[in-house]
Structure 1
């Protein structure tokens, strides 16, 4: 059984304020930065090839999100991932829409070979990255987390890291231990950038826990519980987004222990 101390992880994030280097898609940069700030981390959006490698070496953690990738940012992502690996900086790969488009699929396959600490995606993205699926409908998954459980475990063993699969019940595995996180709100799926922000929060938590499985679980629990709090006061997706940011900020370590986290051997 792999137990995760959610209270300790939350408190460490607040105390250490990790610097998260985000190479992420242009649609979500401000929202991702705000989510990191609300949780207690410090965001940086450095995606120039001339700077990405140097910055990845000094950041607390790195997020590589291929959502709106182009040739220039792909070079920056490769440089950042290599530099992070050499420096011992944990980095997270978010394979947005991998499987349906050849350029990003090839890029993501190359990045997987650089051994990210965590791969975080939806079920269709994880299946495609593992070589057992064709991808989803754009950024939307056409499969559920349990359908990707075996592929996620195999991919985690291949990278030596953790694979997190988002869905109604999130699944996080290192290939040997699997943890499921329930709760959340359907309004997350109607909020542009919520999943991308989750990837950045995974990076932040991994930086302060020194344990990719614990960090990924804590991030998913934080996001899910904040979504429940926000959904209780929101009238719809327009009011949900700022309420979610407020909840990310308000939840402390004791609050996070209420999250629906189910561990399995």
Structure 2
């Protein structure tokens, strides 16, 4: 009997020790699980902050990119031309032929541009030129129109971000030279020139693109005949209404 009690006591002791060991093991595991959960939460917060900073940075960069794009395709690139026409207008209002001539010599103004400006010197009232920046061919690159709601006197385009003169339209003060510019809804432009003493009109059809401009077709129209320029050059588009453009008064560029 005594031996039996001793064996029972030993078994109970082993059972109690085993139970205590299991409890201690559970206690060690629990902090580890808590620590793992905490680490995940911290990682999630860090990831969220990183995404937020990236989003903010992207948002802040957008206006700068937009401004840069406008600068590369809009008024900034044509400032020199706009200022030049403002200066021309001042000289025309003064009737100052000498300064206009010197301006041409010093800055080597395109002959067409000079001819158009000089022809206006004989008008009783100097022209109040306006300008409009219009993306004629919808390629996110604006062309510059000089003129007003009824007549286009000159068209400029960009080539390697530099303004280039396409053509001017005017009636020469002497010699009988005439020229005109007509813009169509599809962005194409017809340039025509002729002499008042000759029966033929020379026609050129142009289209703008990212690289500048391309001459698509040429033709000759018999003045007084039955054909129209659109028929000679096979244009199906309608002439654009100049009044729909956003014309602005010329102002000095600061």
Q: Which TM bucket (shorter chain)?
A: under 0.3
Radius of gyration: which is bigger? 2
**TM-score of the superposed pair, with normalisation by structure 2:** 0.26
**TM-score of the superposed pair, with normalisation by structure 1:** 0.25
Q: Which has the higher strand share?
A: 2
Structure with the bigger RCO (C-alpha within 8 Å, sep 6+) is 1
Q: Which has the higher helix share?
A: 1
